[in-house]
Amino acid sequence: MSSEGPVDGLYGVLDACYHLFVRTDPFHILMTHGKLYGGGKYSKGPGQVLGWSHDLDFVARVLEWRDPRFNIHVRWDPPTDDELRDIYYLGNLSQSYLMSKRLVWLGEEASTESRSATTTTTPVDVSQTSYVGRFDDGTVSRVSASSHWTVIDGGVITIDGDYRAIPRGDSEIVLYSATARQVNLQIPRTWREKSLSLIEVENARAHPVQLSEGSSSVAVELRPKTAYLLRLIR
């Protein structure tokens, strides 16, 4: 059983919700976590903590709607390849990664962020509210008052703004960044002193990765909007 949007009377019965017009109270979000697919209308605060994002007009060709009576002219353009990559790696993949975990707490916490006041260039600490989601495996997802999203899983940063290092099983990590960056990626303990390969997803090009003896991390250079797999070679 599924629905489009929240239906209070079906809590515990729904298998899935599609394109949820999310409410912001933690109880509602807790009850629908693990059952939400296809975006949602809320991309800040508690919804962003779980990877929910705005619904997107997705078309394969240009569509236009004109209605002269009401002075309406709407145009939908197909997404570019770069937009599709962002939609998947920054959105869908991130949401499915967190949906596989059991959410145990969701709420607000006081946080202190450094920012410049409007009347001075000196950074000042401002107490604000951040939204936090905690999962039963210890993973913590946090959205700061300035809407910066981070996820820490097993002591490793898996989401940081427009950067992703999302584990897939016990032998692969999906790497993606909307901007070019150099990453010093911490690897699982079981991967140390073993052979690794870095693969560009789009062209299947593999690059050997050198790990020094006893190293707990590997340096990786990410090109913008390019997906990679860091793979353990068994």
The arithmetic mean of pLDDT across residues 213-226, rounded, is 87
Which pLDDT score, from 0 to 100, does residue 117 have? 36
pLDDT tens per residue across span 73-98: 999 899 899 998 998 899 889 988 99
What band does 19 get if pLDDT is binned at 50, 70 and 90? low
Question: 5-9, 23-27, 110-114, 151-155 — which one is most confidently predicted on average?
Answer: 151-155
Q: Give the 3-state secondary structure of residue 175.
A: strand
More confident residue, 192 or 227: 227
Determine what percent of the chain falls in helix, strand and coil, rounding each to the nearest 5. Answer: 15, 40, 40
Q: For residues 2 and 23, is the Cβ–Cβ distance under 8 A?
A: no
pLDDT tens per residue across span 175-200: 999 999 999 999 888 888 788 899 99
The arithmetic mean of pLDDT across residues 49-62, rounded, is 78
Q: Return d(Cα 176, Cα 193) in angstroms, integer.
A: 24
pTM for the whole structure: 0.79
Domain ranges (residues) in the chain: 162-234
Q: Return d(Cα 15, Cα 33) in angstroms, integer.
A: 11
Which pLDDT score, from 0 to 100, does residue 48 have? 82
Residues of the chain with pLDDT > 70: what percent?
76
Q: Give the 3-state secondary structure of residue 37.
A: strand
- The number of C-alpha atoms within 13 Å of 38 and in the hemisphere containing its C-beta is 12
Beta bridge partners of 220: 183
Query: If you average pLDDT over every residue of the chain, what do you get?
Result: 82
Q: What CATH architecture is 162-234?
A: Sandwich (2.60)
